[in-house]
Amino acid sequence: MGHVEINGAPACVEALHRAATWNYGHFTSMQARRRTVAGLDLHLRRLREASADLFPERTPPADRTIVELIEHALGAARDASVRVTVLPAAADPTATDVMVSVSDPVPDTPGEPLRVRTIVYERELPHLKHVATMGLTYHYRAARRAGFDDVLFTTRNGQVSEGSVWNVAFWDGERVIWPDAPQLAGITMQVLRLGLKKLGVPYEQRRLSTAALAGMRAAAAVNSHCPNQPIAAVDDVALPDHRTLTGLLREAWQQVPWDTVAAGRQPGSDS
């Protein structure tokens, strides 16, 4: 499985070249299961707010239009990886184009615990999931060459922020801790917070220095591919006791209903 559509039509070479050359836009990624998506309304809000930020002079795509384009691109597929990218339209300076990429689904089961290293890196416009990803990809590849599995970013003043393409959750033995630093508010992180609240599991967002990680018992990477990927170590800080945290995150993930991808759905409707 794998194809790309722009505004509901198969993407031509010229359109793909333009998207790659301009390198200006934003996107959101999701996993579809049985034609439902976790946090679909959160994805739509992300696209709406990012469009207002990056394209204030252009008309943003309506939520209904985006859902229709996702539904169309899925075709007969029930399970898939979906990426929705909003780009400036070439022919109309007041409009935007919506590119929907569909590929094989990714299993959401955790892999072996990750060994990650920290690096000082702050994404431009960190609150946006934008297409300028060279920096984070460079640092991910550098970490892999150095023998690590992935990379965890810190700010210039030593505060933990986010992973390469994931948010990070920590467990201090009593509550889930999310770093408070400039970062992307990941959809999976938002869904997990809703689930944790339903379970009555305490969580908080606070500033975390790299030195503070020695006081944590566990850590996990969370994104649309997996809501509870355990982290074995950050630099030389071992975090081996991940079962409580990853179990809570998995249970929280299961608390939130998935939304049906259908043009006629109402915002906030359950699957």
- Ordered structural domains, the chain, with CATH: 2-103 (3.30.470.10), 114-253 (3.20.10.10)
Whole-number pLDDT of residue 263: 65
- Name 121's Cβ contacts closer than 8 Å, sequence gap at least 6: 135, 136, 139, 151, 153, 154
Q: In what order do the strands lie in the sheet with 96-103?
A: 9-10, 2-6, 96-103, 80-88, 26-33, 36-38, 258-260
For 155-176, b where at least 16 C-beta lie within 10 A, e where not — what string?
A: beeebbbbbbbbbbbbbeeeeb
Whole-number pLDDT of residue 23: 83
- Name 124's Cβ contacts closer than 8 Å, sequence gap at least 6: 130, 132
Question: Cα separation of 222 and 16, whole Å?
Answer: 30
* C-alpha distances in Å from residue 134, one per residue of 139, 182, 268: 9, 18, 35
Tell me the Ramachandran region of residue 10: left when phi exceeds 0, alpha when psi lies from -120 to 50, beta otherwise. beta
Can you tell me which residue has the tokens 């920096």? 135
Question: Cα separation of 69 and 184, whole Å?
Answer: 25
Whole-number pLDDT of residue 9: 94
| Dihedral sign (CA 25, 28, 34, 40) | negative
Whole-number pLDDT of residue 172: 96
Whole-number pLDDT of residue 270: 43
Mark the ranges of the chain whose per-residue pLDDT is less than 50.
Answer: 269-271
Whole-number pLDDT of residue 115: 98
Beta bridge partners of 115: 233
Whole-number pLDDT of residue 269: 46
- Name 123's Cβ contacts closer than 8 Å, sequence gap at least 6: 135, 136, 153, 182, 184
Nearest to 103 by CA among 224, 4, 225: 4
Can you tell me which residue has the tokens 């990809």? 137
Whole-number pLDDT of residue 78: 95
| Dihedral sign (CA 227, 228, 230, 236) | positive
Look up residue 268 and give its amino acid: G
The conformation of residue 147, written as its DSSP 8-state character, comes to: T
